[in-house]
Amino acid sequence: MNPLNSIDNYTRPEGPVVLVIMDGIGIGAGDAGDMVAKASKPHLDWLQAHALSTRLRAHGSAVGMPSEGDMGNSEVGHNAIGCGRVFDQGAKLVQEALASGELYEESTWKSLISQVKASGGALHFIGLLSDGNVHTHIDHLLAMLRKAAEEGVTKARVHTLLDGRDVPPTSALEYIGQLEAVLDELNASGVDYAIASGGGRLYITMDRYNADWSMVERGWNTHVKGEGRHFSSAGEAIETLRAETPGVIDQDLKEFVIERDGEALGPIVDGDSVILFNFRGDRAIEISRAFDEPDLHTFNRGPVPDVQFAGMMQYDGDLKIPKQYLVTPPAIDRTLGEFLATSGQRQLAVSETQKYGHVTYFFNGNRSGKFAEELEDYVEIPSDRLPFEQRPWMKAGEITDTVLDSIEGNKHDFIRINYPNGDMVGHTGNLLAVEISVESTDLVVGRLMKAIEAAKGVLIVTADHGNADEMYALDSTGVPKVDAQGKPMLKTSHTLNPVPCYIYDPAGQCGATLNPQENLGISSLAATVMTLLGFEAPEDYNPSIVKV
């Protein structure tokens, strides 16, 4: 890769260009459920009034999702921001592979099916049961179940991870009902297909970034060993667990095991095949490692069954996790980080554990590691291990301390930050905590503004998608839906709203003006960073938000 070309007659800022990604802080309708509008945020309000200010698309086709009705998310958002172009993402690639039948023609699917037909074992599906289209889509699971029955697989077990995060917070029974209807339909033909286990996505299986391997251990014990509290059905389990913990939402429900004749219905044993049907990588890597790595010692797995395991996609191409997969992930290259490293620019990426992989792995195009060890610093601030609503400020202060040290010491040319607060707290549905999370983010943005002014740098403040901006579920007319008691229904998922973009150049060195082109997306941020650093963006990059 060749270095970037410099922009002629451009005065580069003396200080660094700092990109702040306020995770989950979009532009809402300003109504009662818009915690971004409700929050006291003097610094963000000042930037909107006085800095270069625009809004960017962060969902649907702007981030490579199948339709304009698909929310953005942190994974595809950081891909788009760091890669400067839009690539078809997992949801769309899987949808197309299933629709065309290509997935079933590949060797991995054929091998999984052949194994269970030869052994008489079960084909297991583990994954998030929802239609949020962020980690999975229930339609993908249902299509594969139907195809397995068509191809002569007589026994299948589904291990259901409950969502309540990318979909309404207590909607699990709707998806269980959809799944059970298809299982009943298939069982009428003489097969034995059933739900075997389950639990909330934030309690079992779906940990990420090595934050809490005990989640994976609980999932392993539940799905593989068949250990846990027994119930006659998933519906009984969900209703019982909800009654025992009033106010609990689906993502936090404890594990359960379905029994038949007093025995666990679906432990994973020698000769079985297992498909992890999540297509998004961050929360799929650790459970994949538990199946694939013989020398994994993060928890005691006990005897590891001799099975064939495959992910819906390969979740880490550099580390080859997992070894087998059904759909080839997008091939992303020539990212912002790689171009800047090739051009000799010093870079800092910093966040806390919950989003550290987003400003590194996803930002770099699903690539582990650095492009130039001597030019790049990656800093992970360990996240607290407690519910986010109990500490909504999270690690914003510590992240900012790290960045201020860099700015004041002139250590880096480009700094990228993720503040997870608006997203991680937004998913809890606790309105007061969400409001505080936005205010906490505003507070640290104010600290950065002072440092940027002193260093004569440039600050870009934006987001990867919305969440805290729409905390009530809305009907098609924009009116909040209400529950049986007449109270507004909470929404814990991402939104379809645009996100803000503020460009603050207090020294006025760059002479930047807004690009008049409309409907730009967050993928334009990469070219924007290059422009402000004094480099011409590659021709195939989406256009910069500013002109200089």
Amino acid 482: pLDDT: 84
Strands 256-260, 230-231: parallel, antiparallel or unpaired by DSSP?
Answer: parallel
Q: Contact, 494 vs 134, CB < 8 A?
A: yes
User: Quick one: tokens of 66?
Assistant: 């199948």
CA–CA gap between residue 69 and residue 486 (Å, rounded): 27
- Check residue 496 and give its pLDDT: 94
In-domain check, residue 311: yes
Question: Is 160 a member of any domain?
Answer: yes
Tell me whether residue 192 is in a domain.
yes
253: left (phi over 0), alpha (psi -120 to 50) or beta: beta
Is residue 9 domain-resident? no
Task: Give residue 105's pLDDT.
Answer: 96
Least Cα distance to 445 among 55, 82, 27, 48 occurs for 48
Residue 178 per-residue DSSP state: H
Q: 509, 396, 546, 514: which is closest to 16 by C-alpha?
A: 509
Number of domains in the chain: 2
Q: Residue 11 domain-assigned? A: no
In CATH, what number is assigned to the domain containing residue 250?
A: 3.40.1450.10
Which tens digits make up the pLDDT trace of 30-89?
Answer: 999 999 999 999 999 999 999 999 999 999 999 998 889 888 999 999 999 999 999 988
Quote the tokens at residue 424. 């991680």
Boundary of a domain, candidates 327, 352, 385: 327
Same domain for 390 and 284: no
Verify that 454 and 338 share a domain, yes or no.
yes
Residues 408 and 398 in one domain: yes
Extract the runs of DSSP E, i.e. beta strands, from 358-467: 376-381, 414-419, 458-462
408 plus 526 within the same structural domain? yes
Domain finish residue from 327, 348, 373: 327
Q: Please tell me whether residues 52 and 137 are part of one structural domain.
A: no
Same domain, 439 and 382: yes
Same domain, 289 and 394: no
Query: pLDDT tens track of the chain, all 548 residues?
Result: 899 999 999 999 999 999 999 999 999 999 999 999 999 999 999 999 999 999 999 999 999 988 898 889 999 999 999 999 999 888 999 999 999 999 999 999 999 999 999 999 999 999 999 999 999 999 999 999 999 999 999 999 999 999 998 999 999 999 999 999 999 999 999 999 999 999 999 999 999 888 899 999 999 999 999 999 999 999 999 999 999 999 999 999 999 999 999 999 999 999 999 999 999 988 999 999 999 999 999 999 999 999 999 999 998 877 889 999 999 888 899 999 999 999 999 999 999 999 999 999 999 999 889 999 999 999 999 999 899 999 999 999 999 999 999 999 999 999 999 999 999 999 999 999 999 999 999 999 999 999 999 999 999 999 999 999 999 988 877 888 888 788 888 998 899 999 999 999 999 988 999 999 999 999 999 999 999 999 999 999 999 999 99
Q: Are 234 and 160 in contact (CB under 8 A)?
A: yes
Structure tokens at 42: 């003097």
Q: What is the CATH number of the domain that holds 26?
A: 3.40.720.10
Q: Residue 413: what pLDDT?
A: 98
Position 484 scores a pLDDT of 77
Residues 497, 392 share a domain: yes
Residue keyed to tokens 């334009």: 524
Q: ∠ CA 536-539-542 to the nearest 5 degrees?
A: 90
pLDDT tens profile 494-537: 999 999 999 999 999 889 999 999 999 999 999 999 999 999 99
Residue 7: inside a domain:
no
Please indicate, yes or no, if residue 4 is contained in any of the structural domains.
no
Same domain, 316 and 347: no
Q: Give me the helices (H) in 224-374, please.
A: 234-244, 285-292, 336-342, 353-357
In a domain, 5, yes or no: no
**Segments forming the whole domain that contains residue 310:** 91-327
**Per the residue annotation, which of 6, 40, 67, 74 is the catalytic one?**
74
* Domain limit, last residue, from 274, 303, 327: 327
pLDDT at residue 317 in the model: 78
Instruction: Tell whether 249 and 224 lie within a shared domain.
Output: yes
24 and 146 within one domain: no
Q: Are residues 197 and 277 in the same domain?
A: yes
Q: Is 273 a catalytic residue?
A: no
- For residues 214 and 252, give the distance between their C-alpha atoms in angstroms, rounded to a whole number: 14
